[in-house]
Structure formats: C-alpha cells, structure tokens
Structure 1
Amino acid sequence: MAERGAWRIAGRPVGAWAEPMRRVVSRILPGDDDPAAPDIPAGEWLVDCAVYVDGRRLPNEPDFRAALRTAAREDGFVWLGVRDPTQAEFQQVADVFGLHELAVEEAVTASHRPKIERYGDVTLFVMRTTRYLDHPFLSETSEVVETGEVLVFIGDHFVITVRHGAPGELATVRADLEKRPDLLRFGPWSVAHAVSDRLVDSYLEVAHGFEADLDVLEEHVFSQVTSDRIAHIYQLKRELMEFKRAVAPLQRPLAAIVEDKDLLAKEIRRYFRDVNDTLLRVVERVASYDDLLNSILQAHLAQVTVTQNNDMRKIASWAAIAAAQTAIAGVYGMNFDYMPELHWRYGYPVVFLLMVVSAYSLHRAFRRSGWL
C-alpha cells in the first residue's frame, strides 16, 4: 500500500507511474539498456542503414534503432535508405526517429511536387527523379522520360531517403559520397546535397536525350519526303511537359536552401549554390526546347497548308484544261445541221487539233505560273 499522504496522479501513487513514463520516454529517446526496444529487422523495403562519424562509415548496423543510438552517442548521423515503403513499414521508422504523422503520409504516397518543408526539428526535402528512355524511333506512343520521386528527411543525427519509382537509384550516390569524408563531415545535409546534385545531373542527361530527339524530329519535318508528323510532335511535347513538371518546381526549394542562412552552414550552402546553377541551366534548356517544339509544330502546320494549297492549284489547273475540252466537245455535240465544219472534210480533225492546242497552251501557262 502507498504511504499515507503520498502524492497521487489519477488515483495512483507517483511511484506507480515511473515505469510507464520510462517506457514512453524510452520510445522517444531509446537507451542502450531499454528492454522494451526490440531490434527491428531489415526488410526488402529497407535498402541500407549506416552510421557516419567524422566523415567515416562505421560497420553496418541493420537495426536502425540501434544505429540511431550509436549516432547520438558518437555525435554522428544515420543514413537510412528506404524504397517504396508501406504505411506500416514506414511507421516503424517514424516511431524511432520521431517523425510527424504528416511526414509519414508524405513518405508513403508518391507524385509530390518538389518542395522543402519543416516538421519541427525535421526538414523534408522532396525532389523528382527522371530517366531518359532509349527508343529506336519516335512514334505517337513513344515514352521518352520516366519520372519518380525521392524524399529526404533531415534531422540532427539522421537523414532518411525514401525513393519511389525506378529512376534515381541512390546506391552510387552513397558509394561516391563515402569517398568524400570532407563532405560527409558536414552531417546529414551533405547527403541532401549529394542526392540533389546527382538528380540535377540526371536532368542534364535527360535534356541531352530530348535534344537528340528534337534534332531527328526537325530533320524529318523539313525533309523532302512529306509525312504526317503532328502526332509525333505532340507526343514529344507531352513527354517534355512531364519532364518540365519534374524540373521547374525544384527552383524554389533550392533557392530557399541557398538563401536561408539559418538552415545550414555557409560551407555546405556553397555546394547547394552550384547545384542550383546547374538546375537553372536545365530549366533554360527545357524552356528553349518547348519553344523549339512550338516552332516545329507551327512550321509543320504551315507546311501542311502550303501542300494543300499546291494540291488545290493542281486540281484547279487540270480542271481548267478539262473544262476547255468539254466546252469544245459540247458545242459539237448539239447535232446542229447548219454548222460550217459538219459538211467539211477536215472538220473533225481540225476540232481535235483545236482541243489539243488549247490543252497544251493551258498546261504550259499553268506550268509557267507554278500551278503545275
């Protein structure tokens, strides 16, 4: 029994609340000796989990709860890589790293616009991934670009990358960054920079692919062999618009990172400034490609109009030639008795010669004027 006069909460002695409170606190800030914090095994959705201290990777730690404890103790950070998680799977991550419920919602759903958002002490950085799809020729159904999404959650001692879709694999990003301990020393934001730098470089590769397609399309449209390329032009324009929706909105988040002096250190902001400059070049290219596609479309429509006008002039020319012969034949088909040529021996040969001469004269006149 509790001692008489002891402090009580909700009818229970204060001492009785010690164990439940310890469990709640240990869930938020788990300790090494917490028996209520079982190891969380890695699944297929968990790509990689590593602790980085002073720019160096420690031995693999498959349990991200233990990895977070190690990072906090060694003043390092955890890089947790996740791909296409379900709600239940990512909820485990959210419970360990203290992510907001809205952040969990963002992580399990794809098709977000590029943005940067704060959830307390955690920053969410969303970027779109792109990949150029090789195709033997451009048709009205050709897929030129494939898009996906990468979400980067950045905290004091952790960075979580969540990837949706096939494009934007991050294994090479991790491998390359681990060769740069001078960058890894900047902490979780160095990972955000490496990811954004790789994605923006992939935008340049896709832009080069679009440029090659535009050159081929332009060559076909202005070739001597006439063909209907309007469907191909529209298809390439649709693919370009999808690429533009992935690239253009990233300008604002990157500009916010570069300009916000309180968000991260000056040294790492310089690296983000370089990424932002590359992104601006890509955006300018996309805008120029869009203008060029519009010009190609207008030129092709003008070509079609000119071709139709030429066809109509040819039809009208041949119709005029035929009308002259019809007029002559019509006069001599009236069966009149009193016509000079009816009783003349050379009447019909002269009429036929007249028809030939009139047809030749009209044909020559139309040829000179460019109608035939």
Structure 2
Amino acid sequence: MVHDDGTGRSLSRALAAPVRRAMDRMRSAAPTVEITDVTTGHHSGVVDCALYVDGVRQPGDWNYRDALTAARGTRDAFVWLGLKEPDAHELADIADAFDLHELPVEDAVKSHQRPKVERYGDMTFVTMRTARYIEHAELTETSEVVESGDVMMFIGEHFIITVRHGDAARLAPVRAGLNDKHDLLKQGPWAVAYAVYDLVVDILIEVASAIEEDIAIVEDSVFARQGGSGRIQRIYQLKRELMEFKRAVLPLQRPLAGLASGQLANVPAEIRRYFRDVNDHLTRTVEQVMYFDDLLNSILQARLAQVTVDQNNDMRKIAAWAGIAAFWTFVTGIYGMNLDMPEKDWKYFYPVLLALMVAISLGLYRAFRRSGWL
C-alpha cells in the first residue's frame, strides 16, 4: 500500500508545507461536489470524502478527484469516499475518476447483491448483506423483525469507496472510531475495509441475540392456554425473518474466510489478523443461526402436535356431551311413543323418572371427567 514517487521522506509526513499549500490552491480552484446533481436534480450520494496521510485524516472538505490526485502523489496516503445509494450517472463519474471496472460499478447501483470478493486488476470489489433488528411490541402477520441492506466496497492502492444501500449498517461510527486509530489506518484502505466488516458482523451478532430472545418468548408461549392460532403465525413470521437473516449471514462466510486466510495477496498481513478475529465472530453467529432454524422447526412441530391434541380433546368433549344427550333422547323417545305402559299410571312416575335421568347423567359426567374426556 506504499507508493514512492521519488520525492523522499518529506512527503511521508502529513503533507509538507509547500505541498499542502499547493493542494489548498487545488481544492479552492477546482469545482467541488454539489449536493444536487444539476443534470438530474437528484441529491448527491456522496456522504463523506476524506484524505488520510500516514493514518491521519487531513482537514478540509475534499473533492474526490482532488483527494485522489493528492493521495497518488503522496506516500502512505489514501482516499475514503463514502456513498449512500448513488444513481448510475453519479457512480459513472466516480468510476471514471477512479478507473473502476464497469461490471462492479453496475452491481453497486443495485441492492441485494450476494456477498462476494472479486478482483478486477489492481482493484478489489467487495459486497456484503447487512441486517438490522427492528424493535416491536408483538409479532403480527405483517410485522418485520429484520431489515436488510447492502454495503459494497471498491478497494484500490490509494482509495476505498464504500457504497451503502439501506440503513441497516450506518458507517458514521466507523469513521469516528478510526479517526483515533492512526496505527491501524497506516495499513491503508484495507484497514477501513476491516472496520466495515467488523461493524457489519457486530450488528449481525446483535440481531442474532435479539432473535434469540424472540424465539425464547415464542417457545414459552407454545404450551400456554391462551393465544390460539396466533402462536403459529408468530412462529412462521420468525422463521421467515430468520431466512432473511440467513441470507445475510451464511453467504458471508466464504469471502470473509478468504480475506482472513490470505487468498488476496494485497491484504496486509497485519490486517489479515484482524479479519481472522471477525471471521471467528461470524462463525459463532452462523452456528447460532443454524441452531435457531432447528429450534424453530421443533417449536413449530410441537405447536402443530399440540393443535392435533387439542382437536382430539375437543372431539372427545363433544362425544362425551353427545353421549349424555343421547341417554336423554333414548328415554324421552321411548316414553314419547303413544303406547299403553302400566308404569305411566303411577302418580310419582314422572318425578322419579326425571330424578333417575338426572342421576344417571351426573354419573356419566363424573365418569367422563375421571377419564379425561371432560
């Protein structure tokens, strides 16, 4: 990550006075990036553009073309350009300035890219899915638990361009945290790439912990007496959101493992150590996600089995009450026939018959209660 232009050690310092004055004149004379694109009327996707020299962020508001010129002419310098959902026109202008390959530029305009690491000459293109947990009072059929997004990075010798889609992983904390880590930033653009990976994986860990709490709540409610069919809807909703979360976590393993194992020669050895730590965290999260998937399957099967048992219990209750009612129907059906029965002439016949029917019904009820049918 070191570019030596033959001017000596003076340029390795944080821009010597003559060079600094020349760059200040360049920045004041050159046009700056406008907030609104005059050709399209759209707001610019540029969130931040910074020049780092020897691990220190240089003061001032930099245009990315000027910053790249300064970085290429200075030892131990690179540009970090942060973008949020840029349009194709703006990204094409940035690609022209940084000499980016057209294929990854086309991918960077669109969201929902599969995590990958690809080499295009001296540049590396990195994509990853991001996820954010959404707080909710109670799961419903339409509520979302996980919001997904994308972060993409163009990494060259003197620059790193981060492109963010969605708000699942905001990079402002990364910038603020790296400003005090000069030794890490001296490693060049891959230090920023590591910090972005670390943030994304940390957020994935937080999402996994939050989903674990939701699963625990659903698990506790599975055998509750209240809730009805709504419990199945909540289980299904969690399972669907877990699948969305898996699309962010599982495909990230292979590219991150490649960065940690040194498959890319341009990644500094010191940064590979940091990537290995991030990869360890991701591996534990992957294990959690797989466990959650199995657990939700078990909970869903247990709930479906419980529904079947509840239906059988309902059928037994209906059969028990039908049996009691059948006894009354049988007795009243016999004595309701227009037949000459001698016992009907007894004056206490009907009171005794009713008392006998009630007693037999109570006996049947107690028998069904003891057997668990009622």
Q: Normalization by structure 2: what TM-score?
A: 0.86
What corresponds to 2:106 in structure 1? Answer: 105
Paired residues of 1:79 and 1:158 also in contact (CA < 8 A): yes
- Within 5 Å, which residues of 2 pair with 1:138-287? 138-228=139-229, 229-259=231-261, 260=263, 262-287=265-290
Instruction: Render the CA deviation track for 1:69-125: whole Å, top value 9, x for unaligned.
Output: 111111211111111111110111100110011121011111101111111111011
Paired residues of 2:52 and 2:79 also in contact (CA < 8 A): yes
What corresponds to 1:322 in structure 2? Answer: 325
Paired residues of 2:51 and 2:62 also in contact (CA < 8 A): no
What corresponds to 1:300 in structure 2? Answer: 303
- Residue 357 of structure 1 and its aligned partner are, at CA, apart by 2.4
Which protein has the larger Cα radius of gyration, Structure 1 or Structure 2?
1
- Residue 61 of structure 1 and its aligned partner are, at CA, apart by 4.4
What corresponds to 1:354 in structure 2? Answer: 356
- Residue 225 of structure 1 and its aligned partner are, at CA, apart by 2.2
Paired residues of 2:123 and 2:155 also in contact (CA < 8 A): yes
- Residue 136 of structure 1 and its aligned partner are, at CA, apart by 1.6
- Within 5 Å, which residues of 2 pair with 1:46-65? 46-65=46-65
- Residue 126 of structure 1 and its aligned partner are, at CA, apart by 0.5
What amino acid maps onto 1:308 in structure 2? Q
Paired residues of 1:48 and 1:80 also in contact (CA < 8 A): yes
- Residue 48 of structure 1 and its aligned partner are, at CA, apart by 1.0
How many angstroms apart in 2 are the aligned matches of 1:345 and 1:57? 110
- Residue 144 of structure 1 and its aligned partner are, at CA, apart by 1.0
SS in 2 for 1:300: helix
- Residue 204 of structure 1 and its aligned partner are, at CA, apart by 1.0
SS in 2 for 1:342: helix
- Residue 298 of structure 1 and its aligned partner are, at CA, apart by 1.3
1:42/1:182 CA distance change after superposition, 3 Å: farther
- Residue 240 of structure 1 and its aligned partner are, at CA, apart by 1.2
How many angstroms apart in 1 are the aligned matches of 2:84 and 2:66? 20
- Residue 201 of structure 1 and its aligned partner are, at CA, apart by 0.3
Q: Quick one: percent identity of the two aligned structures?
A: 57
SS in 1 for 2:66: helix
What corresponds to 2:74 in structure 1? Answer: 74
SS in 2 for 1:186: coil
How many angstroms apart in 1 are the aligned matches of 2:70 and 2:111? 31
What corresponds to 2:20 in structure 1? Answer: none
What amino acid maps onto 1:245 in structure 2? R
How many angstroms apart in 2 are the aligned matches of 1:363 and 1:226? 28
How many angstroms apart in 2 are the aligned matches of 1:166 and 1:198? 13
How many angstroms apart in 1 are the aligned matches of 2:33 and 2:331? 98
How many angstroms apart in 2 are the aligned matches of 1:199 and 1:349? 82
SS in 2 for 1:244: helix
Aligned residues between the structures = 338
SS in 2 for 1:111: coil
How many angstroms apart in 2 are the aligned matches of 1:73 and 1:230? 63
How many angstroms apart in 1 are the aligned matches of 2:348 and 2:305? 52
- Residue 261 of structure 1 and its aligned partner are, at CA, apart by 5.7
What corresponds to 1:4 in structure 2? Answer: none
Mean Cα displacement is larger for which, 69-78 or 269-278? 69-78
Paired residues of 2:190 and 2:268 also in contact (CA < 8 A): no
What amino acid maps onto 1:100 in structure 2? H
Paired residues of 1:61 and 1:67 also in contact (CA < 8 A): no
Say what the alpha-carbon RMSD is for the aligned residues. Answer: 1.8
How many angstroms apart in 1 are the aligned matches of 2:203 and 2:58? 29
Instruction: Render the CA deviation track for 1:249-288: whole Å, top value 9, x for unaligned.
Output: 1001001112216242221111000000000111111111
SS in 2 for 1:131: strand
- Residue 40 of structure 1 and its aligned partner are, at CA, apart by 4.8
SS in 2 for 1:238: helix
What corresponds to 1:9 in structure 2? Answer: none
Paired residues of 2:258 and 2:264 also in contact (CA < 8 A): no
SS in 2 for 1:362: helix
Paired residues of 1:42 and 1:62 also in contact (CA < 8 A): no
How many angstroms apart in 1 are the aligned matches of 2:31 and 2:199? 33
Paired residues of 1:40 and 1:65 also in contact (CA < 8 A): no
Instruction: Render the CA deviation track for 1:330-360: whole Å, top value 9, x for unaligned.
Output: 11111112x2312233332332233122212
Instruction: Render the CA deviation track for 1:41-62: whole Å, top value 9, x for unaligned.
Output: 2433111111112111122342
How many angstroms apart in 2 are the aligned matches of 1:273 and 1:351? 87
1:242/1:252 CA distance change after superposition, 3 Å: same
Mean Cα displacement is larger for which, 355-364 or 143-152? 355-364
What corresponds to 1:22 in structure 2? Answer: none
SS in 2 for 1:125: strand
- Residue 363 of structure 1 and its aligned partner are, at CA, apart by 1.1
What amino acid maps onto 2:50 in structure 1? A
* Unaligned runs of at least 5 residues, structure 1: 1-31
SS in 2 for 1:51: strand
How many angstroms apart in 1 are the aligned matches of 2:110 and 2:360? 77
- Residue 39 of structure 1 and its aligned partner are, at CA, apart by 3.7
* Unaligned runs of at least 5 residues, structure 2: 1-22, 36-43
